[in-house]
Structure 1
Amino acid sequence: DVPALQNCPQRRGVCTRVYTTTPKKPNSALRKVCRVRLTNGFEVSSYIGGEGHNLQEHSGYVIRGGRVKDLPGVRYHTVRGALDSSGV
C-alpha cells in the first residue's frame, strides 16, 4: 500500500535528510534511508538500495513503491540513476 504515490508509478521529490537505521530482529545492519518531500506535498521515508550512494540533502529524487520488510515505516525505494542519484 503506497498512498503517497497517488496511483502514479513514480514520484519526484527533494531529500530533506539522509540517515542510517537498524532493522528489526533478527537482522543486523545499518540500512541507508532518506526522508523525501514529494511534489504532491507528502513527506515519506525511502530506502536507498545498492552498495554506496551519492545522495545528499536538497538533491532531487525519484521514488517508487516497494516496502523494506525489516524496516518499519519504510514503504518506498529510491530509483537509482534518475535525477541526482548515480546508478549502482
Structure 2
Amino acid sequence: MNFLTRSITSLAKTFTNNTVQGFEIVRNMASLYRMHLNGPRQKLRPPRKPLDGKPFAKGVVLKTLIKKPKKPNSANRKCVLVRLSTGKELVAYVPGIGHNLQEHNIVLCRVGKCQDVPGVRIKCVRGKFDLPHVIKPTK
C-alpha cells in the first residue's frame, strides 16, 4: 500500500509540473534568473577525432585512389583506402612525390588533414613499413 501511494503521489507531481497538450508533454520554461545562472544550453556532440585520439595507427591498404582537390587547386592527390587496426576504413593521403603502394601493403597513419581534399583526415608516414622515403630525383 505504501508503494502504491508513493507512486500515485509521484505521478501527480509530474502532472502538476508538466502540462499535457494532446499527446505531447511540454516542459515549463526556466525563469530568467535560472537561465542567467546556468548560461546557454550546450549541445553534447561526440568528439570528431579520426584515430580516436591516438597519434598513430597501423593499417592495410585496400585500394589506391586519386582524389581531386577543392575549387582553386587542380593537382591530383594520391590517396589510399586503408583499413586500420581499430577496424575503421578511412582514406589517407600519401605525401611526397611518387609511391609504390599496392593492395595488402602495410602503412603507418598519423592524424593530419589534407587541407584541399574533402574527407581526407589522416596521412601516411613515409619511411615506415611498406611505404619508403621520397627518393630524390637525380640530375
Could you list the per-position Cα deviations for residues 5-42 of structure 1 after superposition, in whole angstroms to 9, with x for gaps in the alignment?
12221000100110111111010011100000001101
Higher-Rg structure is 2
**Identical residues among aligned pairs (%):** 44
With CA pairs under 8 Å and 6+ residues apart, which has the higher RCO, 1 or 2? Answer: 1
Tell me the residue number matched to 2:84. Answer: 38
Higher helix share: 2
Equivalent residue pairs, number: 88
Q: CA shift at 1:4, angstroms?
A: 3.6
Give the structure-2-normalised TM-score: 0.60
Q: Any stretches of 5+ residues in structure 1 without a counterpart? A: none
Query: CA RMSD of the aligned region, Å?
Result: 1.3
Change (3 A) 1:10 1:35: same
Q: CA shift at 1:78, angstroms?
A: 0.2
Higher strand share: 1
Q: CA shift at 1:59, angstroms?
A: 0.3
What stretches of structure 1 move > 2 A for 4+ residues in a row? 1-4
Q: Any stretches of 5+ residues in structure 2 without a counterpart? A: 1-46, 135-139
Contact 2:60 2:105 in 1 (8 A): yes
